[in-house]
Chains A and B, each alone.
Chain A
Amino acid sequence: MTTRILALVGDCYGARGGIARYNQDLFGALAESGAEILVLPRLGAPDTVLPPPGVQQRPPVFGQLRFSIAAMWAAWRYRPIDIVFCGHVFMAPLAFVLARLLGAHYWLQAHGTDIWGDRRRLVRLAIEAADQVTTVSRATRRILLGWADLAPERVRVLPNTVGDQFVPGPPSDALRERLGLGPGPILLTVGRLAASERYKGHEQVFACLPALRAEFPTLVHAVAGEGDDRARLEARAEELAQQAGVVRFLGYVPGGDLPDLYRLADLFVMPSSEEGFGIVYLEAAACGLRVIGGVGGGIADAIPDARVGVTVDPSDRTALIGAVRRLLGQGRVDPTATEAYRRPHFAAAARLLLARLVARPRRMRGMS
């Protein structure tokens, strides 16, 4: 029998960013196994991307009250519903109420920063009521279990998956020329340049550049990404790198162009301390690039072992310089190191989690 899922999410099809990407991967995998999914997003431009067969997405509805009313109405029209999926803990109370009203299973997805901050009692109680919680990383799971009273076996980890386009390949000389990056080595960082995300550690890399340039005179740091903090970061780059042109701001790089950028670079460096997972590390590694991340958050799950890269304390400049120096000498990553993050593994795990949830006894309508 077809499993029908109502998904309340922040954003999904037609949106950028790691969480939207994750939702698309998850719903795609579930729909491939025969599930029918109605996605209700709060943000995004749904008309730009067509959902895969089995998935419908309604137009985004912004505003808590409006979204709640729209979700109630959509749920009523979409009955029968087997699972209410909640893609952000912010919406957990609504998802909980809907699941109880519909007598449906309640599946909550936690990413990282969403549960690190929101510790209101109402949200906690709504999280504790979930039949199944999935997190993108072990760190997020651990943090969640530390403050919510959930049986540990109910909280499962479903790590991000890396897209098929992220595979090793020859570096593009044309791209190197177009970007004017010179002979390198090229250090690469890919991430939003947002004032709210300064934990990504751009400035820590800038501060290492004078020492690294002493050893590698043609080394450059390419920064891909856009955001409201760009102007400030550009100023900081010049100040910390002590030389103009060492840091190259590339602006927003479309997803389709990222694999070539990874193949061109020599090392991915983003000593971030708060990523829920950090899909960019994995994408870089899948293209053969060694990576350096920061200690903290869920990054350890995207850089699981030394075959892929290392994590360093972002505030330890000596360690960061040492790691760059060491990894630059190690060549490309063995492609098998990221094999377990490929889509077939992700899809199989997602389907097993769906089956596991459906196998649980259904709650009676209206019962807690």
Chain B
Amino acid sequence: MCGIAGVFAYLDVAAPVDRGELGRMNDRMAARGPDGDRLWTSPDGRIGFAHRRLAIIDLSEGGAQPKHSADGALTITFNGEIYNYRELRAELQAKGYEFQTESDTEVLLQLYADCGAAMVGRLRGMFAFGLWDARQRRLLLARDPLGIKPLYWADDGWTLRFASQAKALLAGGAVSSDPDPAGIVGFHLLGSVPEPFTVWSDIHTLPAGTTLTVDATGPGAVQSYYDVAGALAARAGGPTAAAADARRQLAAAVHDSVRHHLVADVPVAVFLSAGLDSGALLGTMAQLGARDITAVTLAFEEFRGANLDEAPLAAEVAARYGARHIVRNVDRAEFERDLPAILDAMDMPSIDGINTWFVAKAAHEAGIKVALSGLGADECFGGYPSFADVPRSVHWLRPVGWLPGLGALVRRGMTAAIGAGLGVHPKTAGLLQYGGSWAGAYLLRRSVYMPWELDDLLDPGLLREGLRRLAPLRRIGATLNGGGSLGDFDRVAALETSLYMRNQLLRDADWAGMAHSVEIRVPYVDPFFLAALPPGDVLAGVNAKAAVADIPVPPLPAASRERSKTGFVTPVGRWLREAGGGGQGTMNLSVASRDWALRVWQAGWPGPAAV
């Protein structure tokens, strides 16, 4: 887990790589890798890589980067972890490849030598890397299938630059910070910036599950090698298991994923809430024989003694599995103190990530470098209300689409009524217009603002241009294209995994975790794990969300099951609302606060035309 950056002056007329620029990019990512800091430029000066190291696997110099192949023809700068690197290493050794180190990075170099860009399909883990092939004079950029590790790139037509953070590209000094209307509109709609956009027009996200090859003509077309909907469709086409078998299959999949995610040369901790998902991770870790496990839980003064306080139940779970339990108290004063640093670390505007900031901070204080998180379980097991709401909306409201214009007419009428004081949420007005399609119903469910509400927030020209290029409904609908005739559960799983989890949760986990030099591992976010689970309708049938409690031996305590799922519920929502300028009134547990979204936006992101 590290920070990476690179510059490739691919056109002959471009100036050679400026090591000063590489250094500035690397410095902006200092927190991502406190254990090492290196630059490399090719002898002809046409390409250069930077790397900041957080040493997790092979703590020796053997794991240092940028790393070269033995013959010097391949060079890599890599961020992430490859959990199946030992299997791949053995396989390559059997083919005659020789290894000099114990690092997973060297496995990447040898695997590329063996099968080129197709290597990405063999990797189990989280990764983003740049790999220079000096023989082919070709740069390969790649990102993991589900988008755990970020990768941004900018191309001015002469020179291509990439980095783990968009802000690192800006810090280099050669990339403009002109605003991108599509990214800005995307943030206001969804609370996070949907890939491949960023809020800067010259910086793009390399989408999850894709590669980009750059040669003397510049970057080629982005190539996709993994599609969530397609993977879920393939899973649905497999054999259907009986309920008991399905539970066993679920438990085996979790065991296998956790086992892979424990690969490290430093201790692996866990972020523990009172919920089932993180508890099941801890129980499985213990069952697999992990020693000296540390569990970190956030507690809040506001919740002390109340049902919302997660600490007592988390302590019971930690004790059950013999984990050292750290309860970290956070209060509003600390939140306000940290707010400037939070906004600075936030690589792209986001309405979430505050909880992760504090739990990662607590982990760092405890000397923890790696922690497992339950992130992604809700997407796999149907933990969100959207799994019920979105299909119901589509099935009931689809016929409205047969009367063109009716939905829009009703929306206009209701918007006027809401403006005049009708006490319902403004998004309700769009129910008939949007609720009858999968993309529309999902947008209604996940949006912070709906498109028609942005007239009051953004410059009309920026909004028009942003909506045209973002094409939100088409973009949301496209996540289902590869899935054929998916069932309702899998459709929502594909939408949540491809959009909310990727653009919001995983991006937040990266910047908030890395700001404290803590690697967050997510066993529920793993294509191998997804493929090993029973099909979506079977998961829904066995109530996988609850069945997770029975995965570890012994199972989670009864109190954990009885308690409604709250995740890391915190008073942060209220702090955000108040920090965003909202009233002091009742407690608002939703961090998806409109006021907070505006506060984040006004905290210094670009957009001369934005209000």
Among candidates A141, A153, A305, residue contacting B220 with C-beta atoms closer than 8 Å: A153
Does A47 reach chain B (CB closer than 8 Å)? no
Does B590 reach chain A (CB closer than 8 Å)? no
Closest to A149 in B: B469
Min Cβ gap A253→B in Å is: 26
- Give the distance in Å from the alpha carbon of A153 to the alpha carbon of B215 in the complex: 12
What 0/1 pattern do residues 137 to 157 of A give for CB contact below 8 A with B?
Answer: 110011001110101111111
- Residues on A with C-beta less than 8 A from B468 are 149
Which A residues, 114 to 149, have Cβ-Cβ distances below 8 Å to chain B?
A: 135, 137-138, 141-142, 145-147, 149
Does A358 reach chain B (CB closer than 8 Å)? no
- Residues on B with C-beta less than 8 A from A301 are 13, 158
Which B residues, 141 to 161, have Cβ-Cβ distances below 8 Å to chain A?
A: 155-158
Min Cβ gap B204→A in Å is: 6
Does A159 reach chain B (CB closer than 8 Å)? yes
Does B118 reach chain A (CB closer than 8 Å)? no
Min Cβ gap A207→B in Å is: 31
Q: Is the interface of A mostly helix, strand, loop or mixed?
A: helix
Which B residues, 178 to 205, have Cβ-Cβ distances below 8 Å to chain A?
A: 178, 201-202, 204
Does A250 reach chain B (CB closer than 8 Å)? no
Query: Judging by beta carbons under 8 Å apart, are B202 and A142 in contact?
Result: yes
- Give the distance in Å from the alpha carbon of A348 to the alpha carbon of B157 in the complex: 16
Query: Judging by beta carbons under 8 Å apart, are B157 and A135 in contact?
Result: yes
Closest to A302 in B: B13
- Residues on A with C-beta less than 8 A from B157 are 135, 137-138, 141-142, 155-157
Does A352 reach chain B (CB closer than 8 Å)? yes
Min Cβ gap B160→A in Å is: 9
Among candidates A135, A149, A340, residue contacting B12 with C-beta atoms closer than 8 Å: A340
Does A356 reach chain B (CB closer than 8 Å)? yes
Does B584 reach chain A (CB closer than 8 Å)? no
- Give the distance in Å from the alpha carbon of A146 to the alpha carbon of B202 in the complex: 9
Query: Judging by beta carbons under 8 Å apart, are B216 and A153 in contact?
Result: no
Min Cβ gap B208→A in Å is: 17
Report how many residues on chain B are interfacial, defined by Cβ distance under 8 Å.
25
Most buried by B among A135, A152, A345: A152
Query: Judging by beta carbons under 8 Å apart, are A304 and B15 in contact?
Result: yes
- Give the distance in Å from the alpha carbon of A341 to the alpha carbon of B155 in the complex: 20
Min Cβ gap B471→A in Å is: 9
Does B219 reach chain A (CB closer than 8 Å)? yes
Does A349 reach chain B (CB closer than 8 Å)? yes
- Give the distance in Å from the alpha carbon of A80 to the alpha carbon of B331 in the complex: 73
Query: Judging by beta carbons under 8 Å apart, are B220 and A152 in contact?
Result: no
Query: Judging by beta carbons under 8 Å apart, are A345 and B217 in contact?
Result: no
- Residues on A with C-beta less than 8 A from B219 are 152-153
Instruction: Say yes or no: A157-B216 contact (C-beta < 8 A), given A152-B204, A304-B13, A349-B11.
Output: no
- Residues on B with C-beta less than 8 A from A352 are 215-217
Min Cβ gap A110→B in Å is: 12
Which A residues, 336 to 366, have Cβ-Cβ distances below 8 Å to chain B?
A: 340-341, 345, 348-349, 352-353, 356
Does B221 reach chain A (CB closer than 8 Å)? yes
Instruction: Say yes or no: A142-B156 contact (C-beta < 8 A), given A151-B221, A159-B13, A305-B15.
Output: yes
Instruction: Say yes or no: A157-B220 contact (C-beta < 8 A), given A149-B468, A305-B15, A340-B13.
Output: no
Among candidates A146, A153, A154, A157, residue contacting B11 with C-beta atoms closer than 8 Å: A157
Does B218 reach chain A (CB closer than 8 Å)? yes
- Residues on A with C-beta less than 8 A from B204 are 152
What 0/1 pattern do residues 13 to 43 of B give for CB contact below 8 A with A?
Answer: 1110000000000000000000000000000
- Give the distance in Å from the alpha carbon of A335 to the alpha carbon of B13 in the complex: 14
Query: Judging by beta carbons under 8 Å apart, are B15 and A349 in contact?
Result: no
- Give the distance in Å from the alpha carbon of A230 to the alpha carbon of B423 in the complex: 71
Query: Judging by beta carbons under 8 Å apart, are B222 and A153 in contact?
Result: yes
- Residues on B with C-beta less than 8 A from A340 are 12-13
- Give the distance in Å from the alpha carbon of A16 to the alpha carbon of B5 in the complex: 45
Closest to B153 in A: A152
- Give the distance in Å from the alpha carbon of A149 to the alpha carbon of B201 in the complex: 12
- Give the distance in Å from the alpha carbon of A149 to the alpha carbon of B220 in the complex: 17
- Residues on B with C-beta less than 8 A from A135 are 157
- Give the distance in Å from the alpha carbon of A146 to the alpha carbon of B13 in the complex: 23
Query: Judging by beta carbons under 8 Å apart, are A356 and B15 in contact?
Result: no
- Residues on B with C-beta less than 8 A from A147 are 465
Query: Judging by beta carbons under 8 Å apart, are A349 and B158 in contact?
Result: no
Among candidates B158, B178, B221, B469, residue contacting A153 with C-beta atoms closer than 8 Å: B221
Query: Judging by beta carbons under 8 Å apart, are A356 and B13 in contact?
Result: no
- Give the distance in Å from the alpha carbon of A157 to the alpha carbon of B202 in the complex: 15
Closest to B154 in A: A152
Instruction: Say yes or no: A349-B216 contact (C-beta < 8 A), given A149-B468, A151-B221, A152-B204.
Output: yes
Instruction: Say yes or no: A156-B13 contact (C-beta < 8 A), given A138-B156, A142-B202.
Output: no
- Residues on A with C-beta less than 8 A from B222 are 151, 153
Min Cβ gap B408→A in Å is: 23
Min Cβ gap B347→A in Å is: 20
Query: Judging by beta carbons under 8 Å apart, are B221 and A341 in contact?
Result: no
- Residues on B with C-beta less than 8 A from A151 are 221-222
What 0/1 pattern do residues 201 to 241 of B give for CB contact below 8 A with A?
Answer: 11010000000100111111110000000000000000000
Query: Judging by beta carbons under 8 Å apart, are B12 and A138 in contact?
Result: no
Query: Judging by beta carbons under 8 Å apart, are B218 and A156 in contact?
Result: yes
Among candidates B220, B465, B469, residue contacting A356 with C-beta atoms closer than 8 Å: B220
- Residues on B with C-beta less than 8 A from A345 are 12-13
Query: Judging by beta carbons under 8 Å apart, are B13 and A341 in contact?
Result: yes
- Give the distance in Å from the alpha carbon of A138 to the alpha carbon of B156 in the complex: 6
- Residues on B with C-beta less than 8 A from A157 are 11, 157-158, 218
Most buried by A among B156, B218, B219, B469: B218
- Give the distance in Å from the alpha carbon of A199 to the alpha carbon of B212 in the complex: 40
Query: Judging by beta carbons under 8 Å apart, are A349 and B156 in contact?
Result: no
Which A residues, 302 to 345, have Cβ-Cβ distances below 8 Å to chain B?
A: 304-305, 340-341, 345
Among candidates B14, B178, B217, residue contacting A353 with C-beta atoms closer than 8 Å: B217
- Residues on B with C-beta less than 8 A from A145 are 201
Closest to A345 in B: B12
- Give the distance in Å from the alpha carbon of A145 to the alpha carbon of B212 in the complex: 19
Query: Judging by beta carbons under 8 Å apart, are A153 and B155 in contact?
Result: yes
Instruction: Say yes or no: A152-B217 contact (C-beta < 8 A), given A157-B11, A301-B13, A345-B12.
Output: no
- Give the distance in Å from the alpha carbon of A138 to the alpha carbon of B158 in the complex: 7
- Give the distance in Å from the alpha carbon of A153 to the alpha carbon of B465 in the complex: 20
Min Cβ gap B226→A in Å is: 19
Closest to A353 in B: B217
- Give the distance in Å from the alpha carbon of A147 to the alpha carbon of B222 in the complex: 21
Min Cβ gap A350→B in Å is: 10
Query: Judging by beta carbons under 8 Å apart, are B158 and A156 in contact?
Result: no
Closest to B213 in A: A153
Min Cβ gap A345→B in Å is: 4
- Give the distance in Å from the alpha carbon of A146 to the alpha carbon of B466 in the complex: 11
- Residues on A with C-beta less than 8 A from B465 are 147
- Give the distance in Å from the alpha carbon of A156 to the alpha carbon of B157 in the complex: 6
- Give the distance in Å from the alpha carbon of A348 to the alpha carbon of B13 in the complex: 12
Closest to A354 in B: B217
- Give the distance in Å from the alpha carbon of A305 to the alpha carbon of B16 in the complex: 11
Which B residues, 453 to 473, have Cβ-Cβ distances below 8 Å to chain A?
A: 465, 468-469
- Give the distance in Å from the alpha carbon of A156 to the alpha carbon of B216 in the complex: 11
- Give the distance in Å from the alpha carbon of A145 to the alpha carbon of B202 in the complex: 9
Most buried by B among A154, A305, A349, A353: A349
- Residues on A with C-beta less than 8 A from B158 are 138, 157, 301
A-B pairs, top 7 by smallest CB distance, nearest first, are A157-B157, A340-B12, A153-B219, A138-B157, A340-B13, A345-B12, A141-B157
- 13 pairs of residues in contact across A and B, judged by CB atoms under 8 Å: A135-B157, A137-B157, A141-B156, A146-B178, A152-B155, A152-B204, A152-B219, A155-B157, A156-B217, A159-B13, A349-B12, A352-B217, A356-B217
Q: Which residues of A contact B (CB under 8 A)?
A: 135, 137-138, 141-142, 145-147, 149, 151-157, 159, 301, 304-305, 340-341, 345, 348-349, 352-353, 356
- New contact pairs (20) apart from A142-B202, A151-B222, A157-B11, CB-CB < 8 Å: A135-B157, A142-B156, A145-B201, A146-B201, A149-B468, A153-B218, A153-B219, A156-B217, A156-B218, A157-B157, A159-B11, A159-B13, A301-B13, A304-B15, A305-B15, A340-B12, A345-B13, A349-B217, A352-B216, A356-B220
